[in-house]
Amino acid sequence: MSAAEPAFVVETGDDPWPVTLRLAAHLREVADSTAAVSAGFPEDAHTIALCSDRDARSLTLSIERGRVALAETPPADASLELTISYTNPLDVSRHRVVRRSAAQLPLERLVQSLLSPLERPWTELAGAFWARHRQAPHMPETLRVTAADGETSEFGNSAGATRLEITGPAAELAGLFRGRSLLTTALVRQTLCARGTWESINAMNAACQREGLGR
């Protein structure tokens, strides 16, 4: 399945919470990266309660073949109930099933796969990030990224007038292109290095924020 054909569609309501956007962004990444998970989707609609392990927040995850929807209201009759840590950045691995039934084991396996962290190379994440945000205001014409092991990816026009170069460990680069950190924060912490104009760096910050919110 190509990147243009996600395994399923992810929907949110109007004016969603930030945590809803972060969870939707993770689900879209799952949809873009694997077609196999769609084989486990039920034909009939099911609702899953995703309850915060810290406060009273609760999301409803609705699943049916080819579609996943998030709503900010608790379901009246959930097929499955989980607790999840709505942290920022969102750590989807921190979830736990608290109510289940034997009849819903296939659904539980599907939900567990949807909420599993994805292991993707930073180069793939950087390419997807660039494709989504390269047209944003003040983004550099050329983005060159180099990992600590020397692996390098370059995006955009190699002869562009504006250029931003970012270097650092692969794990830090992956977090940046997932929108889990800001470039300026990484520079202050000295986990990443960058060379370019402040305008380009600020544009990257804005793109990272949008990425983290699934926008």
Q: With 60 as the cut, is the pLDDT of residue 4 above it?
A: no
8-39 b/e (C-beta count within 10 Å ≥ 16 → b): bebebeeebeebbbbbbbbbbbbbbbeeebee
- In the CATH hierarchy, which top-level class contains the domain 9-114? alpha beta
The pLDDT assigned to 38 comes to: 65
End-to-end CA distance of the chain: 23
Helix (H) or strand (E) holding 91: none
Angstrom CA distances, 83 to 10, 60, 96, 159, stand at 20, 12, 5, 50
Residue-wise pLDDT for 157-171, tens only, equals 988 899 999 999 999
Residue-wise pLDDT for 87-132, tens only, equals 776 788 889 999 887 778 889 989 998 998 888 899 999 998 999 9
The pLDDT assigned to 66 comes to: 86
Domains 9-114 and 122-212 share a fold: yes
pLDDT band at residue 215 using 50, 70 and 90 as cut-offs: low
The pLDDT assigned to 2 comes to: 39
- In the CATH hierarchy, which top-level class contains the domain 122-212? alpha beta
H helix runs in 9-145, sequence order: 18-33, 105-114, 122-133
The pLDDT assigned to 35 comes to: 61
Residue-wise pLDDT for 22-76, tens only, equals 898 888 888 877 666 766 788 888 999 999 988 888 999 999 888 999 999 888 7
Name the one residue in this structure whose structure tokens are 């912490």: 189
The pLDDT assigned to 117 comes to: 80
The pLDDT assigned to 40 comes to: 78
C-alpha to C-alpha distance for 93 and 103, rounded to whole angstroms: 24
For the chain, the domains span 9-114, 122-212
**Cβ-contact 57, 86 below 8 angstroms:** yes
